[in-house]
Amino acid sequence: MTGPPVRSGDAPLEIVFEDVSKFYGEVLGVNRVTLTIRPGITSLVGPNGAGKSTLMSLMTGLLRPTNGRVRVLGRPPYDAELMRQVGYCTQHDSFPPGLTGRRFVESALALHGMPRSEARRRAGEALERVGLTGAADRRIGGYSKGMRQRVRLAHTIAHDPLITVLDEPLNGLDPMARAEVIALLRDKAASGGFVIVSSHILHEVDALSDRIVILDGGCVMADGEIHTVRGEIRAHPLQVLIRCNRPDLLAASVLAQDHVVEVKMHADRRGLLVATRDADRFYLLLNRVALEDGIGIESVTPADDDVHAVYRYLVGGDGEPS
Amino acid sequence: MAVADRTWKPYAGPLTRPRWRFLVLPRHAWQEVFASRMFGLFFALCFFVPVICAGLIYIRHNVSALAALNVVPTSLPEINARMFLAALTLQAQFGFLLAFLVGPAIVSSDLRNNALPLYLSRPLSRGEYVLGKFCVLAILLSAISWAPFLLLFALQSALADPGWIAANARIAPAILASSLAWLVFLSLLTLALSAWMRRAATARLMMVFVYIVLAGLGNAANKVLDTRWGDLLDIVKVYKTIWAGAFGLGDVADLPVAAAWAMLGGFSGLSLLLLWRKVRAAEVVR
């Protein structure tokens, strides 16, 4: 018996939630979620109880929706053949007790149907990839938090899944390990896979993701590429920091525009903070004013065009999920 | 064309048979259990009764051994259904101890460590998980119950004259049926307690409770209500009745055999139901 193809040629390469709700008794998990996730890195962001883990459990077949439909590559997520193409790393620091790192990874591969020799080879490779070769034959109980996180990652990627779902994968990792994990996830996405992560470390989400899904109270507040989502938040004009040699002249020119709602002079009088409702028109205006008035511009930086700002505007709080 | 179609390649090598993949769970559990030398010694001790029985059967049919030991065959226990029943009853004590040592940690450790999603997000269903965990205990119990006793029956059949086999033909199915009924119940009960108690030590206490306290309650019910139906709460009496019925030794039974079967079936079904309710990838938060 050999592994069947992951999907037929005409199966859609996407994860689709169609009006999906999940209730745990009377407790709401997610509510009427309609969402399509495509290959690349997608981050789920939201406060505790927002529904991130529920969404992950639904797409990995661990939970079935109360209402609506979930399709992964055109199949139900609990389809056994599909599950062979999914790697899921839970948020819990959870392991069957007493296992060594190598046996933990090998047992997962055996459940995927790999013969013992192949499981041993792949487990070795996965552990090497996460930098745990030296500790592979030690019991997981004696691992540090960062090592446990890395062995879970090895457990998730060892069978080379097309869809990698990771709940808080960067928790407990030191900066070097975080960089390595991010590089690994980028590799997976670059090879054409789906990488779906939830994280509360927003600056890393910002650096990592092609796309974000912001959740709050079980509902999707926004989804899409971060800059696109930011552009659609009309209630909060985009803020742009411009460092230049003549900020007073630039301020006078831009204030005359109807889409510019606020201009603040920087404390060192070498820059401006401009709030605009139309970023595209503002950038065109900036080019024209700089050329016509001979203003030397050092830098132009969007001040709130990141996931922190998007999160703060949509969910509230201080821009950091709890 | 999607990027995935260009570079990502799934594993296309040989796969193990899906039907038997649940055996990964017992295989890893046994590696863990037998890593303890103490358990290894205890498991070896579990073969004490079958080994003594094998010796008895051998000596009974070996004239030179009888002469060397200066023993007359009539002074040795007769090899018949009563002997097999007695040996199996004794062996059940070892079986209970084995389940007491191994069983309570089988599911509780996974639940306590939130490890179920790790299994159930793989190509392994809830049913296969339960079956795999059931096999951890059921196969160990099989190894010390019906398997060695069927070998003893085969040994006796090989050494005895053909008339013995004709007279005792029901012993083999009796060994199988009574052992299976006992080990299915014991495994399911232990797993259910393991799942609900979450801590191995508490599950062990509950095992004792089920065996001893229920028997006490049954006894009290017998006295108060002047009946014998309270014995249906005494699991050991229920076993003994079923086994005596299976071996054709109705005189040993305390209860109607059918009632004992129904009770054991009910206990087993309830245990399975309780186990099934706890084996979920995500817990219901209330």
Instruction: Please state, for a pLDDT cut of 90, what percent of chain A lies above it.
Output: 33
Coil, helix or strand for B92? helix
Report pLDDT for B74: 79
In this structure, are residues A152 and B114 in contact, taking their beta carbons and an 8 Å threshold? no
- The confidence band for A9, taking pLDDT boundaries of 50, 70 and 90, is low
In this structure, are residues A250 and A289 in contact, taking their beta carbons and an 8 Å threshold? yes
Q: Rounded to whole angstroms, how far apart are CA atoms B8 and A73?
A: 15
ipTM summary value: 0.80
Report pLDDT for B3: 44
Q: What is the DSSP letter of B209?
A: I
**Closest residue, chain B, to A49 (C-alpha):** B285
φ, ψ dihedrals at B78, nearest 5°: -75, 140
In this structure, are residues A240 and A279 in contact, taking their beta carbons and an 8 Å threshold? yes
Report pLDDT for A180: 86
Mean pLDDT of A103-109: 92
Report pLDDT for B250: 72
For residue B207, give how far its alpha carbon lies from the nearest alpha carbon of chain A (Å). 22
Q: Are strands A211-216 and A194-198 parallel, antiparallel or unpaired?
A: unpaired
φ, ψ dihedrals at A58, nearest 5°: -70, -40
Q: For B104-143, write each residue's pLDDT tens digit.
A: 999 998 888 888 888 888 889 999 999 999 999 999 999 9
Report pLDDT for B284: 46
Instruction: Please state, for a pLDDT cut of 90, what percent of chain B lies above it.
Output: 64
CB contact under 8 A, B2 and A114: no
Q: Which residues have CB under 8 Å from A173's CB, separation 6+?
A: A146, A149, A150, A181
Higher pLDDT, A12 or A96: A12
Mean pLDDT of A295-308: 79
Q: For A131-148, write each residue's pLDDT tens digit.
A: 899 999 999 888 988 888
Q: Rounded to whole angstroms, how far apart are CA atoms B164 and B154?
A: 12
Q: Rounded to whole angstroms, how far apart are CA atoms A156 and A161?
A: 8
Task: Choose among A39, A83, A88: nearest Cβ to B117.
Answer: A88
Report pLDDT for A320: 55
Sign for the pseudo-dihedral over CA of A207, A61, A157, A81: negative
- The confidence band for B5, taking pLDDT boundaries of 50, 70 and 90, is very low
- The residue whose two tokens read 């390990």 is A177
The region of weakest confidence among A233-237, A273-277, B178-182, B282-286 is B282-286
Report pLDDT for B52: 95
Q: For B149-170, write each residue's pLDDT tens digit.
A: 999 999 999 999 888 999 999 9
Sign for the pseudo-dihedral over CA of B117, B118, B122, B124: negative
Q: Which of A34-43, A77-86, A205-214, A272-281 has the highest mean pLDDT?
A: A34-43
Nearest to B284 by CA among A90, A18, A22, A48: A22
**Closest residue, chain B, to A13 (C-alpha):** B2
Task: Choose among A6, A25, A96: nearest Cβ to B284.
Answer: A25
Residues of chain B whose C-beta is under 8 A from some C-beta in A? 2-8, 10-18, 21, 24, 27-28, 31-32, 35, 105, 109-110, 113-115, 117-125, 281-282, 284-286
Q: Which residues have CB under 8 Å from B94's CB, separation 6+?
A: B45, B46, B48, B49, B144
- The confidence band for A5, taking pLDDT boundaries of 50, 70 and 90, is very low
pLDDT over 70 (residue B4): no
Q: For A53-68, write each residue's pLDDT tens digit.
A: 899 999 999 899 999 9
Q: Rounded to whole angstroms, how far apart are CA atoms B85 and A13?
A: 62
Q: Rounded to whole angstroms, how far apart are CA atoms B58 and B162?
A: 16
Q: What is the mean pLDDT of chain A?
A: 85
Task: Choose among A27, A108, A193: nearest Cβ to B8.
Answer: A193
Q: Rounded to whole angstroms, how far apart are CA atoms A259 and B146?
A: 85
**Closest residue, chain A, to B3 (C-alpha):** A192
Would you put residue A218 in left (φ > 0), alpha (ψ -120 to 50) or beta? left
pLDDT over 50 (residue B1): no
CB contact under 8 A, A90 and B3: no
For residue A75, give how far its alpha carbon lies from the nearest alpha carbon of chain B (Å). 14
- The residue whose two tokens read 């595209």 is A280
Nearest to A88 by CA among B114, B75, B4, B223: B114
In this structure, are residues B241 and B227 in contact, taking their beta carbons and an 8 Å threshold? no
In this structure, are residues B138 and B183 in contact, taking their beta carbons and an 8 Å threshold? yes
pLDDT over 70 (residue A319): no
The region of weakest confidence among A88-97, A184-193, A248-257, B242-251 is A88-97
Would you put residue B83 in left (φ > 0), alpha (ψ -120 to 50) or beta? alpha
Q: For A149-180, write each residue's pLDDT tens digit.
A: 899 999 999 999 999 999 988 877 888 888 88
Helix (H) / strand (E) element for B224: namely helix B214-225
CB contact under 8 A, A1 and B31: no
The first and second tokens of residue B19, run together, are 């039907």
Q: Which residues have CB under 8 Å from A235's CB, separation 6+?
A: A313
Burial class (CB in 10 A: 0-12, 13-18, 19+), B63: exposed
Residue B25 bridge partners (DSSP)? none
Q: Which residues have CB under 8 Å from A124's CB, separation 6+?
A: A102, A133, A136
Sign for the pseudo-dihedral over CA of A10, A15, A21, A27: positive
Q: Which residues have CB under 8 Å from B259's CB, separation 6+?
A: B229, B232, B241
Coil, helix or strand for B220? helix
Helix axes B24-33, A101-111, angle to 10 degrees: 160
- Type of residue at B140: L
Q: Which CA distances in Å does B214 have to B103, B237, B258, B269? A: 20, 11, 20, 17
In this structure, are residues A213 and A44 in contact, taking their beta carbons and an 8 Å threshold? yes
The region of weakest confidence among B4-13, B102-111, B189-198 is B4-13
The first and second tokens of residue A92, run together, are 């819990």
CB contact under 8 A, A113 and B18: yes
Coil, helix or strand for A60? coil
Report pLDDT for B91: 95
Report pLDDT for B253: 62
